[in-house]
Structure 1
C-alpha cells in the first residue's frame, strides 16, 4: 500500500513551525468555508491512484432511510492532475478519471446542508452544516476507495478550525486537531459521527477508560450534569454485566431539535459512540434519556460486538433483546431510582403495543428493509416481539434450571462466541445455542414465535410462573386511517372512540396531534366537513383480552427485583 507523508504547518507549544505529519494510506483535510453565502465543509482527500486511470470512491446516495444524499455534495475537482469527476448515484460511487501514470491523487469536494427547515428526527441523518456547528455521519462525509483493504491508516486533519472556542469531537477522539487512525477497520470508520462548533463536552472515566458527552443548545427539560450522570451509571452497569471494560474511549453525542407538541427521541449506535437526537421542550424528561441511553449503549454489544448475519431477519434479537435488557438493566441497578415497578410497567406497555398492532402476527420474513424503514408498526414489531420472546425464554430457563441459569447465561455464551469465533447470530445458531438450555427440541418453539410470528400465550405463562395479572386491558386503537398524504380521513372503525368523537370518512384534516401508541394522551384533530371547521379529541383506547402484570411486591420478588 502506497504511503505518503503530508507536510503541513502546525502550531507547536508557542512557536509556529513546520512539522511532518504521520504517514497514512489516505488523508482528509477538513475546513470550514462559505460558498455563495452557504456554510460548507471543504474536504481535501489524498489517496493512492488506480493504475488503470479510473479511481472509484464509495459514497452512498441512499442510506439509513434517507434518499438523494448526493444533494449534499457541492463542487468536486481533482487538484494535482488533469481529469474528470463523475457522480454515479445508482451505484453509490464517485468516479475519478485521471492519467494512468499518476501515483497519488489530491481530490477536493464540498459538503453542504441540503434542507432549509429545522432539524428533526428525519433530517438528523442528513449532513447538518451551518455557521454555529456541523453534525455529520461518516458515510455522508468521507468518501472511501472502492475495493480497498479492510484496514487502513487514516489521517484526519482539522487544524484549520480555531483552537479556542470551537469544539472538534467525534467517534475517535475529542479536541484532537490531527487524528491518525492506525489500522482502522473501514467498516467501523464508516459507522461513526463527526461534530464541531458550539458543542459542550463533559468527560469522565470508568475503570480508567474515557467517556464523554457532547451536547449543544440550551436544554429545557434537564441539566447537562444530570444527563452525564445517567451516562456514567448506564455504562458502568452494562460493562459490568458483560464483564467487558475493554473500550478505552466512548462518547455520546446529543443533538436537540425543536418540537411544538409531544416528545420525540431516537438514537443510533456507532463505532465507539452513539448519536442521539432529542426534542427540546418541557414534555421531554430525564426518564426518557435513561431509556434511550440504556437501549443505545446496549448496542455496543448487541449489534456491534455481536452481529446479525442478516440485519432485518435478526432484528428480533438485536433490537428486541436489547429492549428487554434495557428494562432489566435499569430496574436491576435502580438507575435514576427506577426499580421493578418500572420493569413491569415497560413489559405491560410492550405487551399492549404488540397486541394492538395490526401487524402483530406478521411472519418474521415481512420485517424487511422496505417495511422496517417505511412503516411505524413494522419498525417497532421486532422490538415488541423480541422483548416478549426474551422474557418468555428468561423465565422458562430459570424455571427449567431451578434458578441456576437464566437468559443471561445464553447472552454471555453468544458474546464469547462472537469475540472468540467471530460467530454471527443467525437462526440456526440461536436454535442450537438454546438447545443446551431448553427441555426438548427448541426449534418448534423458535419456528412458532419468531419465524411464524405467533403471540406467546402470556396468560398461560403467567399462570405457570405464579405471577398475578389482570386478564384484560385498555390497548391503543387509533380508530381511523389517513389518506396517503395524511390530509383526509380514509376510513373509520365504527364503534371506536374516533367514531364516537365524530370522525367520519372524507373529513379534511387541517391539524393533528397524535402520540403514536400512547393511551394516556388524547388524539386531537382539526377537521373540515362541508366547508365548516371543527375540532375533536378522544383517547385512542379499546378493551381487549391482553394480560397485564400487577406491580405487586410478590411479582417483583418472583421476577428477581
Structure 2
C-alpha cells in the first residue's frame, strides 16, 4: 500500500510540474545533481507511450569517433508505471517495457562524465559534466523516441539550475524554459548544449543575434578579439551571399591543455559551430581567423549548396570553401590580413598539392574509403579544388576584363539552389561555367577534375603578367614509419632525412613533426645499435612548383 501511494505521489508531483510547462510532444527536464559526490545531470522525459507496450529510445553507443557511450549513462527508471528498462548496446537503444494501456511515459535517466583527467581532443565529443560546467552534444545527451514524426514540439526545462549558472545552446541563450515548436528532429539531434561557468559575448548583425560562449582563462588571445573576428566573418559572409536569414547563431569555444604545438577542431551544427582549441602560446588568433572563415562558409557551401554525390564533389564543397576562406579574409581585411595573405595562402596550397603523392589521381579515387581512411586522399580535394577555383577566378576576371569573377558563378549557383533546389553535379557545374568561359570548358573540366591533371599555372601566371619563381621548396618528409609508428620503415635516399643521417630500422623514441610544413624542423630521437641519436632537418626538396611573389604589382593584378 505504501509503495503504491508513494508511486502515486511521485506521479502527481511530476505531472503537476509538466503541466506548468507549455504543451509538447517531448518534454525534457534537466537538473544538476550529485551522485556519490560526482556531478551528473538528471534528465526526465515525458513522451507518448507506444501502444505495443514497448517504447524504444535512441541513444547511440558509438558516434563521431566515440565508442562505449553507454558508459555515460547512470541509473534509469520509469516514474509513472511499473515496467522494465533495458539497454540494447548493439542497436543503440534504450527499451522501455510497460503496460499496453499506458498513454504517457515519465522516464528518468542520469548522464555522467565517464573519464578522469584533463580534457583532450579524443574526449571532446563525450559528455563533459563536472562541478564547474557541462558540455554535451544532443545525440549523447538527449534520448529521443524512435517511433516519432520527423517534426515535434519540444520543451527543454532548465529551471532547476541556479540563476547565475549559464545555460547556452544551439537554440538560445540564458532561457530557463525553451519551446522548440515544430522542431526538425534531425536538426535537434545535431546541436550543442553548454552550461556553468561559460561566458557569453553577444551582438547582432542586421537584427539577427550572434554569440560566442567560452570558458577558462585563454593564453593566446582575448575572447573579445575572437568575438570581433566572428562578427566580422559572419557579416562579410552573409553580405557575400546576400543572406541575412539566420535569426540566431552561436559559436562555443572550449579550451583544452596541450604542452607543445597547436591543434583545434570544430563541428558545424544547427544554428551553431562548436570548437575546441589548444590553450597555449603555440595557438594564435590567425588560426581562428582561418577556422571560422572556412567552417562557417560551409553554412552555404555544403549546407545550402549540396553535393549530389558527397565525395565525388568534394573538390567543390571542400576545395571552393578553402579558396573562399582566404579570398574573403583578404578581400575584407579580416584581422588586418590583405592581398599578401591571399598570395601566401595560394602559394601554400599550390605547394601542398604538388607535394602530394596522389596529386594527379583521378577524381573517382576520392571515394568514401580513400577519403576517410587515407590522409593523402582526404587532403586532395581541398588542395585541388582550391587551386582549380583560383585558376577559374583569374581566367574569368581576365576574359571579362575585370567585369566578372568566380563570385558571379557562386552567386548563380546559390540562386539556382534557392529557386530550383539545384544540387551540385558535374554536369550542372559545367553548364554554368560555359556561360563564363565558353564551350571548351567541358574538356578542361574533364582533364583537370575528372582525370586529375594539374592546371597550367606557369601559363596562367605568364598570361596575367604575374611575377613568380618557377622552382621552389616543397614538403617531403623523406621517410616512412613502421605500421606501429615505433620505427623507421624506409628512407628516401638523397632526401633531407637521409642527409641528416636517418636510416631504415632506426627505433623511434621521440618525434616532433609539423605535418605539411616546410617552415618547421622535423625532430626525431632514435635508437640504433643500442645508441640514442637525435636528428633535426627541414623536410623539403626542390621542385618545379611555381610560387607567386608578394609584390604590390601582383597584389593589384590579382584584384586586391
Q: TM-score range by the shorter chain?
A: over 0.9
- 5 Å-filtered alignment, 1:240-259, equals 240-259=239-258
Cα separation, partners in 2 of 1:29 and 1:359, compared to 1, 3 Å: farther
Report whether the alignment pairs 1:28 with 2:41: no
In structure 1, C-alpha distance between the alignment counterparts of 2:368 and 2:61, rounded to whole Å: 16
Match of 1:407 in 2: 406
- 5 Å-filtered alignment, 1:140-219, equals 140-146=140-146, 148-164=148-164, 166-219=165-218
Match of 1:535 in 2: 534
Report whether the alignment pairs 1:418 with 2:417: yes
Match of 2:76 in 1: 76
In structure 2, C-alpha distance between the alignment counterparts of 1:298 and 1:506, rounded to whole Å: 45
In structure 1, C-alpha distance between the alignment counterparts of 2:444 and 2:132, rounded to whole Å: 54
Cα separation, partners in 2 of 1:496 and 1:525, compared to 1, 3 Å: same
Cα deviations by residue, 1:433-486 (Å, 9 ceiling, x for unpaired): 333333115443333333333322222222233322111211111111122222
Match of 2:457 in 1: 458
Match of 1:13 in 2: none
Cα separation, partners in 2 of 1:28 and 1:440, compared to 1, 3 Å: same
In structure 2, C-alpha distance between the alignment counterparts of 1:409 and 1:68, rounded to whole Å: 48
Cα offset, 1:143, TM superposition: 2.2
Cα deviations by residue, 1:30-77 (Å, 9 ceiling, x for unpaired): 222333444332222222222223333333333333344333333333
Range moving further from structure 2, 354-363 or 269-278: 354-363
Cα separation, partners in 2 of 1:385 and 1:98, compared to 1, 3 Å: farther
- 5 Å-filtered alignment, 1:230-245, equals 230-245=229-244
In structure 1, C-alpha distance between the alignment counterparts of 2:370 and 2:92, rounded to whole Å: 22
Cα offset, 1:351, TM superposition: 0.9
Range moving further from structure 2, 424-433 or 531-540: 424-433
Cα separation, partners in 2 of 1:551 and 1:8, compared to 1, 3 Å: farther
Cα separation, partners in 2 of 1:426 and 1:260, compared to 1, 3 Å: same
Cα offset, 1:431, TM superposition: 2.9
| SS of residue in 2 equivalent to 1:50 | coil
Cα separation, partners in 2 of 1:487 and 1:301, compared to 1, 3 Å: same
Cα separation, partners in 2 of 1:242 and 1:351, compared to 1, 3 Å: same
Cα separation, partners in 2 of 1:441 and 1:189, compared to 1, 3 Å: farther
Whether contact under 8 Å (1:6, 1:22) holds in the other structure is: no
Match of 2:555 in 1: 556
Match of 2:4 in 1: none
- 5 Å-filtered alignment, 1:89-108, equals 89-108=89-108
Range moving further from structure 2, 48-57 or 236-245: 48-57
| SS of residue in 1 equivalent to 2:303 | coil
In structure 2, C-alpha distance between the alignment counterparts of 1:490 and 1:36, rounded to whole Å: 50
Match of 1:349 in 2: 348
Count residues in correspondence: 548
Whether contact under 8 Å (1:400, 1:439) holds in the other structure is: no
Cα offset, 1:395, TM superposition: 1.8
- 5 Å-filtered alignment, 1:290-305, equals 290-305=289-304
Whether contact under 8 Å (1:85, 1:97) holds in the other structure is: yes
In structure 1, C-alpha distance between the alignment counterparts of 2:112 and 2:442, rounded to whole Å: 51
Cα separation, partners in 2 of 1:471 and 1:173, compared to 1, 3 Å: same
In structure 1, C-alpha distance between the alignment counterparts of 2:184 and 2:156, rounded to whole Å: 15
Cα separation, partners in 2 of 1:96 and 1:346, compared to 1, 3 Å: same
Range moving further from structure 2, 22-31 or 336-345: 22-31
Match of 1:309 in 2: 308
In structure 2, C-alpha distance between the alignment counterparts of 1:88 and 1:370, rounded to whole Å: 29
In structure 2, C-alpha distance between the alignment counterparts of 1:368 and 1:117, rounded to whole Å: 38
Match of 2:6 in 1: none
In structure 2, C-alpha distance between the alignment counterparts of 1:387 and 1:75, rounded to whole Å: 50
In structure 2, C-alpha distance between the alignment counterparts of 1:218 and 1:452, rounded to whole Å: 49
Cα separation, partners in 2 of 1:410 and 1:474, compared to 1, 3 Å: same
In structure 2, C-alpha distance between the alignment counterparts of 1:49 and 1:36, rounded to whole Å: 32
In structure 1, C-alpha distance between the alignment counterparts of 2:529 and 2:380, rounded to whole Å: 39
Cα separation, partners in 2 of 1:549 and 1:498, compared to 1, 3 Å: same
Match of 2:473 in 1: 474
Match of 1:390 in 2: 389
- 5 Å-filtered alignment, 1:6-85, equals 20-85=20-85
Cα offset, 1:257, TM superposition: 1.2
Cα deviations by residue, 1:199-256 (Å, 9 ceiling, x for unpaired): 1111111111111111111111111111111111111111111111111111111111
Larger Rg: 2
Cα separation, partners in 2 of 1:342 and 1:64, compared to 1, 3 Å: same
Cα deviations by residue, 1:169-201 (Å, 9 ceiling, x for unpaired): 111111111111111122221221111111111
Match of 1:334 in 2: 333
In structure 2, C-alpha distance between the alignment counterparts of 1:117 and 1:376, rounded to whole Å: 30
Cα separation, partners in 2 of 1:98 and 1:525, compared to 1, 3 Å: same
Cα deviations by residue, 1:341-364 (Å, 9 ceiling, x for unpaired): 000100111111111122333333
Cα offset, 1:168, TM superposition: 0.9
Whether contact under 8 Å (1:8, 1:21) holds in the other structure is: no
In structure 2, C-alpha distance between the alignment counterparts of 1:366 and 1:74, rounded to whole Å: 44
Cα offset, 1:163, TM superposition: 1.1
Cα separation, partners in 2 of 1:81 and 1:303, compared to 1, 3 Å: farther
Whether contact under 8 Å (1:7, 1:21) holds in the other structure is: no
Cα offset, 1:277, TM superposition: 1.2
Range moving further from structure 2, 542-551 or 134-143: 134-143
In structure 1, C-alpha distance between the alignment counterparts of 2:265 and 2:556, rounded to whole Å: 32
Any stretches of 5+ residues in structure 2 without a counterpart? 1-12
Match of 1:113 in 2: 113
Give the aligned CA root-mean-square deviation in angstroms: 2.2
Cα offset, 1:19, TM superposition: 7.4
Match of 1:497 in 2: 496
| SS of residue in 2 equivalent to 1:41 | strand
Range moving further from structure 2, 399-408 or 542-551: 399-408
Match of 1:484 in 2: 483
